[in-house]
Amino acid sequence: MSISNAGLFAALNQRIPGGVNSPFRAFQAVGGVPPVLARGQGARVWDVEGNQYVDFCCAWGPLMLGHSHPVLIEAGRQALEEGSVFGASTPWELEFAEAISAAYPSMQKLRLVNSGAEAVASALRVARGATGRARILKFEGCYHGHVECLDSVGVEAEQMGGPLALGASPGSAAETVLAIFNDLDSLNQKLEQHRGEIAAVIIEPIPGSMAVTRPRPGFLEGVRSLCDEFGVLLIFDEVLSGCRVARGGAQELFQVKPDLTCLGKALAGGMPVGAYGGRAELMDLVAPLGKVYQAGTFCGNPLTVRCGTANLALLAQPGVYSRLAEATDFLVASLKGLHPQLQVVAYPGMFGLYFAPHEIENHLHMELVDLDFYGRFYHRLLKAGFYLPPSSLDAAGLSTVHTREDLERFVQAVSEGLS
């Protein structure tokens, strides 16, 4: 009996809310039935019907080496044979932590966790413990994962009915202050209004959930300066940009040093992982040295960290990011001018593709994006064999295994999809 995407997705809906374990997989933003993916190799994925796609989603970012890289498979195999989890210290944790600190010198000490959202939640605890303050300032449109005090505020939360409708604590949401991305006056006003109350400013230095948003020249430097002026910690959420736009993420690209950094799945080539870290005196507040409590049986498990160390070693090889930058530049140049409203904003390893009169600079511009047009366009590309994030407001990905031929075929498909 043949298996179909529609049939299997209908069966998934009987056991899993919406048929998915993460909402955007349900294709609500583009419509239609999502393909149920069964296999990945290199830059390609196959669904249960055997349809092949060139993958420009890359598991929402982390697959810098593509699917099923042989070096990562071997690292995982060794871990499975020798022990995938102990709940105790292992030598591989040290190798992985040292590799992370080498790429991110601002992370003098760090903790390994299991996801980017867990890293963010833990970093907020450190910031509150270090400052004795409760409030956190975030920029509207920046996404920081399933963290209650951050994802239950702002325009999107209001549209869904507010914190209680989202199952979040109104008290937790009330502790969060909102500012406008790329607007230093907005940040200065909020810091002044809540002087002495804010523990940290958290920011995606390159937002990847309001498409890919380019920080204006001097904006990140200005955020750093204002945090110093008001005695507030600066947290870079590099779950999306880390190990993607550069080996050392956006902080390497822009040469702006945060107090704390949050990293995620790209550290380990797609294995479930997160890390948070920063100055040693801040991280020494974490238990057992300090009173900021964070724990987890699977934190730093051998399966993840052995794959992570292998992944970071491959990404540290000379020329990896220069070749990725060349591929990204070629893609942007080739797509430019294909449609009067086609916007392509890119950094090495990630790009945003959406339809609007001009580039998005903050959440106020998101209403200009033509979501319906993208939905129709998306399904034309899917039919042509190209798998993008099923939302025009989420960053697409490039890996080291995408070829020039893949990119040329993609550009041709985009051109035909727009006709």
Q: Is the pLDDT of residue 265 over 80?
A: yes
Q: Is the pLDDT of residue 310 over 90?
A: yes
Q: Which residues contact 342 (CB under 8 A, 6 or more apart)?
A: 335, 353, 355, 418
Q: Which residues pair with 40 in a beta bridge?
A: 45
**Mean pLDDT of the 388-394 span:** 94
Q: Could you tell me which of 337, 335, 341 has the C-alpha nearest to residue 396?
A: 335
Q: pLDDT of 66-104, one tens digit each?
A: 999 999 999 999 999 999 999 999 999 999 999 999 999
Residue 270, token pair as written in the block: 């797609």
Does residue 202 contact residue 124 with C-beta atoms inside 8 Å? yes
Q: Residue 265 and residue 307: Cα distance in Å, rounded?
A: 11
Percentage of the chain exceeding pLDDT 70: 100
Percent of the chain with pLDDT over 90: 93
- Token pair recorded at residue 260: 């704390």
Rounded CA gap, 177 and 187, in Å? 10
* Verdict on whether the full-model pTM lies above 0.85: yes
Q: Is the per-residue pLDDT at 199 higher than 90? A: yes
Give me the pLDDT at residue 246, please: 97
* pLDDT score recorded for residue 330: 97
pLDDT of residue 374: 96
Burial class of 284 by CB neighbour count within 10 A (0 to 12, 13 to 18, 19+)? middle
Look at residue 165 in the predicted model and tell me its pLDDT. 87
Instruction: Report the pLDDT value the prediction gives residue 299, as an integer from 0 to 100.
Output: 97
Domains in the chain, please, with CATH? 5-56+318-418 (3.90.1150.10), 70-315 (3.40.640.10)
Average model confidence (pLDDT) for the chain? 96
| Dihedral sign of CA atoms 55, 59, 92, 316 in order | positive
Tell me: the pLDDT tens digits for 333-356? Answer: 999 999 999 999 999 999 999 999
Which residues are catalytic, by number? Answer: 143, 237, 265
pLDDT band at 419 (very low <50, low <70, confident <90, very high): confident
Q: Say which residues have a Cβ less than 8 Å from residue 332's Cβ, sequence separation at least 6.
A: 344, 346, 351
Q: pLDDT confidence of 120, banded at 50, 70, 90?
A: very high
Q: What is the pLDDT of residue 2?
A: 78
Tokens representing residue 12 in the block: 């998934």
Q: Is the pLDDT of residue 1 over 80?
A: no
Angle CA 302–306–127, to nearest 5: 75
Q: Is 288 helix (H, G, I), strand (E, B) or coil?
A: coil
- Name which of 112, 113, 122 is nearest 147 in CA terms: 122
